Structure 1
Amino acid sequence: MIISRTPYRISFFGGGTDYPVWYKEHGGNVLATTINKYSYITCRYLPPFFEHKYRIVYSKNELTQTISEIQHPSVRATLGYMGIDKGVEIHHDGDLPARSGLGSSSSFTVGLVHALYAQKGTMVTKRQLALDAIHIEQDLLKENVGAQDQTSAAFGGFNKIEFGGDNQIQVQPITLNQKKCHLLQDNLMLFFTGFSRFASEIAKEQINKTADKQKELHAMHQMVDAAIEILNGGDMDITDFGRLLHESWTIKRSLTDKISTLQIDKIYNDALDAGALGGKLLGAGGGGFMLFFVEPEKQPAVKKRLQGLLHVPFKFDTTGSQIIYYASEDTF
């Protein structure tokens, strides 16, 4: 039996430049971190005593004889891609809800790929995990997804991720001293809006409008390095990070009219009125989690103003996808 644990991510800057339609021509740039909220995949070969060959347990319980019958798209595509010919049982458990802007779908795919490699007795690099998951989601499933979620989930940590060129992905860890890292973390608040969305549908419109939004996407690309300069600059005010988040969100919400809604705008404006310096809706848009930069002394006022939303404390994760349990078994 194998259990993989794969983190969810928070993207600060550069989201939208990680779509192939953009980075294959212009290059992409993202600043993101993984957090201590995880997707867990339990996997084992299924003994031959059941009427079914595959059992997939998530929000549904699927029992099938063939891979092609499996309804869960990522499971179906990943089992086929990994060449699994024995019966398997797969369970998924997540710390946070799906379709909420934290890259949960890609964390699931990365974790499943990792578990299946381990099931086959194969060690795999973080880079290969990321590239496999990108291939499954972009090429096999034809989903409207970028490449940052899979990369963050596989590598873990606080990173600048560049997309494009021969290497396709390049991960550069952000080296913050412990004091600065805690300072940034202490100024961040995460809230769940209570409504989820299908990111692929929203991303499709953004992708279709890429040619018309080059100025905005170039600006979002450049904000990654500006944010890193704020974090690494000894004499720069950390609150500038929050103000830059506000500037980035203003640009992002203008990319399509599906990214934000009247409800989201109200939540955002309420947070700013209560003392937040900036923030953003995480993921493609439409719903899910919202991140705010709020100085610690103003956080009680923001929490009170957004009392109808679930506040989710978190810490940065540094590990990436891991196999946290491995036990050999007879494969029948």
Structure 2
Amino acid sequence: MVITRTPFRISFFGGGTDYPAWFSEHEGKVLSTTIDKYCYITCRHLPPFFEYKHRIVYSAIENVRHWDEIKHPAVRAVLGWTNCSKGLEIHHDGDLPARSGLGSSSSFTVGLLHALAALKGRYVSKKQLASNAIHIEQDVIGENVGSQDQIAAAYGGFNRIEFNRNGSFEVSPVIVRPQRTRELQSHLMLCFTGFSRIASDIARSQIDNLHQREQELHRIGAMVDEAVQILHSKTRRIEEFGELLHQSWMNKKALSDRVSTPEIDQIYQTALDAGATGGKILGAGGGGFLLLFVRPALQPRVREALSQLIHVPFGFDDSGSRVVLYQPNGLC
């Protein structure tokens, strides 16, 4: 039996420039961090005594005789791609809901790939794990997704990720003074809007508009280095990070009319009126989690103004995907 723990992520700046359709022409970069909320994948070989060969347990339960009968797209794609010959039982548990903008789908794919490699007794590097997950989601499943979530889930930590025209990527940890990191984290609030969405559908609308929104995307990409400069500076106010988040959200909303909704706009305005400096909907948009930048003294007021939302305390995490239990019982 193998259990993997793979973190979810918060993307601060650069989202949209990690789509292959963009960075293959212009290059791209993002600034993100993983957080202490996780996707857990439990995987073991099934003995050959059941009517089914594979058992998949998530929000549904699937018992099938062949991998191509599996309805869960990521599980079906991964099992087909890895060509595992033995029966498997796979359980998924997550700290936060799916389709919420925290990269949960990629955390699932990375965690499953990691679990199957460990079950075979194989070591897989962070770079290979991220690359395999990108291939599964973009090429095998054919989803309209970017390339940052898979990398964040595999590597973990606070990173500047750069995407090159040839499809390669570079991960550079952002080294920030501990006091500055604590200062940043103390200003962040995470709220669940209650709206879920299909990220691939919203991403498709953004990809279709890429060439009409080059100015916005270049600005979104430039904010990555500006944000890093703010974090590294000993003289600039941390509030400038929140102000930049607000500018980023305004640019992101211009990428597609599906990024936001009237309900989300009202929630965000309510937060601003209560004292938030800035924020953004995480992920492709359309719902999920709202990240807010709020001075600690004003957070009770914002929490009260958004009392209808679920507030989720969180911390930064730098572990990346890891195997937390390994009990070998045979190879695929």
TM range (shorter): over 0.9
- 1:118 is aligned to 118
* 1:142-167 Cα distance to aligned partner (Å, 9 max, x none): 10000000000000000000012446
Q: Is the 8 A contact 1:156 1:321 kept in 2?
A: yes
Partners in 2 of 1:331 and 1:188 — Cα distance? 44
The CA deviation at 1:330 is 4.3
Partners in 1 of 2:195 and 2:21 — Cα distance? 28
- The 3-state SS of whatever aligns with 2:52 is coil
- The 3-state SS of whatever aligns with 2:170 is strand
Q: TM-score, normalised by structure 1?
A: 0.99
The CA deviation at 1:331 is 5.8
- 1:53 is aligned to 53
For structure 1, which runs of at least 5 residues remain unmatched after alignment? none
- 2:231 is aligned to 231
- Note if 1:211 corresponds to 2:208: no
* 1:216-256 Cα distance to aligned partner (Å, 9 max, x none): 00000000000000000111110000000000001101111
Q: Is the 8 A contact 1:54 1:65 kept in 2?
A: yes
- 2:148 is aligned to 148
- 1:261 is aligned to 261
AA aligned to 2:263 is Q
- 1:324 is aligned to 324
Shift in CA distance, 166/205, structure 1 to aligned 2, threshold 3 Å: closer
For structure 2, which runs of at least 5 residues remain unmatched after alignment? none
- 1:174 is aligned to 174
* 1:20-53 Cα distance to aligned partner (Å, 9 max, x none): 0000110010000000000000000111111100
Corresponding pairs, count: 332
Partners in 1 of 2:70 and 2:91 — Cα distance? 14
Q: Is the 8 A contact 1:47 1:331 kept in 2?
A: no
Partners in 1 of 2:33 and 2:106 — Cα distance? 14
- The 3-state SS of whatever aligns with 1:92 is strand
Q: Aligned Cα RMSD in Å?
A: 0.9
Q: Is the 8 A contact 2:20 2:167 kept in 1?
A: no
Partners in 2 of 1:281 and 1:154 — Cα distance? 23
Matches within 5 A, 1:154-303: 154-166=154-166, 168-303=168-303
- 2:102 is aligned to 102
AA aligned to 2:240 is D
Q: Is the 8 A contact 1:28 1:162 kept in 2?
A: yes
The CA deviation at 1:80 is 1.2
- Note if 1:132 corresponds to 2:127: no
Q: Is the 8 A contact 2:121 2:328 kept in 1?
A: no
- 1:64 is aligned to 64
AA aligned to 1:10 is I
Matches within 5 A, 1:22-33: 22-33=22-33
Q: Is the 8 A contact 2:18 2:148 kept in 1?
A: yes
- The 3-state SS of whatever aligns with 2:62 is strand
